[in-house]
């Protein structure tokens, strides 16, 4: 089958005539069936057709598809009753946020720094961040290139409590709300644990960094 695909695509150039809209829809239905539950959230298909008749397609009774290459062969029944063979590409794409500019280490990523674009699914590996919420507000660790997917290891939650910072220690239990001055002896991003010295009692406690200059002792 792969040799057949290679032969066909070696002889023909891809084109998408206006009359191919219905056929593209039918091909997309068949490709979607091929993926079934494996189709990723937001996944769509970019359909490119070859040797399309001017007649409108009615049904696709036979269909062969290679998920690795996106190439397909389809037997198609046209509105005039004739059967024809159509080949082409059905590339699975998924929406992925990518930088609109080069971002340098220590920068904090904002929503304005990103745009969502469709990318071929086979280019989106397991380490690619696929939602805006995964990236916005993160601190850049490694240079982010314009238009390229953001890898998990390239960003990190920003540090909001740094070693040596003066912080407010908050303790809440029921209606009781206490606070005391403290000094961080470690660093932490939001939601992370950090060791703090209570400068009044001179005792060390473990607290959660909640915002810049504030930590909370959990019950």
Three-state SS letters, 151-215: EHHHEECCEEECCCCEEEEEEEECCEEEEEEEEECCCEECCCEEEEEECCCCCEEEEEEEECCEE
Residues 24 and 47 in one domain: yes
Residues 75 and 133 in one domain: no
CATH number at residue 100: 3.90.1210.10
Q: Are residues 23 and 88 in the same domain?
A: yes
| 36 and 64 together in one domain | yes
84 & 6 share domain: yes
74 and 108 part of one domain: no
Main-chain dihedrals φ then ψ at residue 140, nearest 5 degrees: -75, 130
Which pTM was predicted? Answer: 0.68
**78 and 63 fall within a common domain:** yes
Whether residue 80 is predicted with pLDDT greater than 90 in this model: the reply is no
The answer to whether 28 touches 45, Cβ cutoff 8 Å, is yes
pLDDT at 153: 95
pLDDT tens profile 20-75: 788 888 999 999 998 888 888 889 999 998 877 666 778 889 999 998 889 999 99
92, 126, 148 - which closes a domain: 92
Backbone torsions φ then ψ of 137, nearest 5 degrees: 90, -5
> Is 200 in contact with 166 (CB distance < 8 Å)?
no
3-class secondary-structure state, position 217? strand
Residue 54: per-residue pLDDT: 66
Residues 109 and 57 both lie in one domain: no
Q: Average pLDDT, whole number, for the chain? A: 87
């Amino acid at each position: 089958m792969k040799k057949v695909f290679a032969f066909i695509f070696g002889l023909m150039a891809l084109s998408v005539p206006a009359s191919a809209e219905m056929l593209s829809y039918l091909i997309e239905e068949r490709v979607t069936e091929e993926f079934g539950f494996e189709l990723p959230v937001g996944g769509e298909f970019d359909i490119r057709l070859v040797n399309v008749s001017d007649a409108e397609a009615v049904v696709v009774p036979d269909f062969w598809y290679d998920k690795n290459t996106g190439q397909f062969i389809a037997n198609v029944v046209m509105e005039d009753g004739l059967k024809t063979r159509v080949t082409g590409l059905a590339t699975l794409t998924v929406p992925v946020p990518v930088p609109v500019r080069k971002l340098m280490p220590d920068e904090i990523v904002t929503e304005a720094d990103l745009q969502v674009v469709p990318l071929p699914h086979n280019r989106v590996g397991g380490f690619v961040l696929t939602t805006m919420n995964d990236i916005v507000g993160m601190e850049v660790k490694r240079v982010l290139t314009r238009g390229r997917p953001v890898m998990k290891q390239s960003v990190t939650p920003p540090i909001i409590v740094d070693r040596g910072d003066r912080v407010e220690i908050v303790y809440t239990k029921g209606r009781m709300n206490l606070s005391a001055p403290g000094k961080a002896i470690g660093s932490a991003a939001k939601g992370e644990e950090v060791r703090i010295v209570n400068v009044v009692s001179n005792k060390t406690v473990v607290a959660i960094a909640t915002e810049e200059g504030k930590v909370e002792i959990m019950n």
